[in-house]
Amino acid sequence: MRFHPAKKQRAANNNTLRDAQKRQKAPLIVVKSLLFIASRRKTRDFRAKCARKHLAEHNRVNSNVYYSNKNTEYHKKNKFGMRRTAMLVQELNERSHDFAGRNNKQEKKRENPETQRMKNSGNEPEQEQQKIKNEEAREERIKETGQVLLEEGGEGAHIHLISIIGEIEGHENLSGNTKTTKYEHILPKLAEIEDSREVDGVLVMINTVGGDVSCGLALAEMIASLSKPTVSLVIGDSHSIGVPLAVATDYSFIVPTGTMMIHPVRMSGTVIGAVQTYDYFEMIQDRILNFVSGHSQIAYDQLRRLMLNTEMLTKDLGTVLVGSDAVKEGLICEVGGIREALQKLNRMVLERKEI
């Protein structure tokens, strides 16, 4: 049995049309099912992705059939199916965005007040955050080294405060129960101050019982060699090697109840009883006497008499000067406290800037 070529072509077109209709129905059913499931479950994004994949495959197949069957009745049906598919995709996208928006609102509601406060703190101005960091660094520096930069006095001068407290530690570490001033911390800081353009002056606050002669003299020489204005304040005691430290500055103050003790050099441990040992002690004392007399108003001979005085101390040689007595002897410039010391230092800084 033979078929006419035209009939044979129509039969082939009908078979292609039936196959295309079957392929068209399957993706639409899948899309509707996924839309229903996605509206019920939180896994909407994953299911939406699968739905878009099926729709893309469906559009690709339908477009091929559409262009190969322009002269058939399927052209109208397929065009309507593609338009319906596009509407489903648009609806799927809108529901996905609504679902994501609801999730974001719920997450914001679940955030506790502490989390919101931390987020808001991150929006503070940079100046406020920098101010907090500077305050923390300042407190840490005071705690560790007893040093602080005074820059809010209203005079426009930046004053660096260095405290010499307790016993001046030498080349060996003292016990943990003793308050000490470590010269390996002070010496680099003094060098930094001399090189800094931000620091205008130095205030040295002293309350020490003395300590290592070599390290104490090194600190005194370092302070005396600074080019910037320096002022010392004996706030409590300035004994032994603390005397050179008090007079090493450009101007010195002592509180009314402050004391200064001048005595000969002592040495702990085993000492060889020979003439050379006493000559060595005499040389060390001369170093101290020359430095103190060279940086104060007291004469070398008068200072030596105070050092070898036998009438004041019961177990040792020396002299104790209280407050105004130190001023009368010429060791200290003036009796005063922190107010007078800062005022004097600010005036010295302004005079230096005017030159």
**Is the pLDDT higher at 180 or at 100?**
180
**Is the pLDDT higher at 94 or at 75?**
94
Average pLDDT over the chain, rounded to whole?
75
**Could you tell me whether strands 159-169 and 147-150 are parallel, antiparallel, or unpaired per DSSP bridges?**
antiparallel
Among candidate residues 239, 263, 293, 295, the one labeled active-site is 263
Cα–Cα distance between 168 and 181 in angstroms, integer? 5
Closest to 185 (Cα-Cα) out of 135, 243, 247, 141: 141
Cα–Cα distance between 216 and 166 in angstroms, integer? 12
pTM for the full model?
A: 0.59
Q: Answer whether 155's CB lies under 8 Å from 350's CB.
A: yes
**Is the pLDDT higher at 224 or at 151?**
224
What are 159-212's pLDDT values in tens digits?
899 999 888 887 776 666 777 788 788 888 899 999 988 888 999 999 998 888
Closest to 298 (Cα-Cα) out of 332, 259, 275: 332
What are 205-218's pLDDT values in tens digits?
999 988 888 889 99
Is 239 considered catalytic here?
Answer: no
Task: Say which residues have a Cβ less than 8 Å from residue 163's Cβ, sequence separation at least 6.
Answer: 146, 147, 181, 204, 205, 206, 207
Give the pLDDT band of residue 35 (cuts 50, 70, 90).
Answer: low
| Greatest mean pLDDT among 141-145, 223-227, 267-271, 274-278 | 223-227
Tokens of 134: 């500077």
pLDDT reported for residue 249: 94
pLDDT reported for residue 182: 81
What are 305-324's pLDDT values in tens digits?
999 888 888 777 889 999 99
Closest to 202 (Cα-Cα) out of 182, 222, 176: 222
pLDDT reported for residue 352: 85
Is 295 considered catalytic here?
Answer: no
- The whole-number average pLDDT for the span 295-303 is 92
Q: Does domain 132-354 have CATH number 3.30.1330.60?
A: no
What are 106-135's pLDDT values in tens digits?
555 555 555 555 555 555 566 676 666 666
pLDDT reported for residue 289: 93
* Per-domain residue ranges of the chain: 5-113, 132-354
pLDDT reported for residue 79: 46
- Look-up: residue for tokens 């005036």? 347
Q: How far is CA 217 from the centre of its chain?
A: 34
Among candidate residues 240, 252, 293, 296, the one labeled active-site is 240
Tokens of 346: 């600010």
Is the per-residue pLDDT at 332 higher than 90?
yes
Between the CA atoms of 94, 96, 101 and 106, what dihedral angle is there, to the nearest 10 degrees? 140
Is the per-residue pLDDT at 151 higher than 80?
no
pLDDT reported for residue 244: 94
Cα–Cα distance between 24 and 62 in angstroms, integer? 7
What's the length of the chain? 355
Q: Answer whether 216's CB lies under 8 Å from 246's CB.
A: no
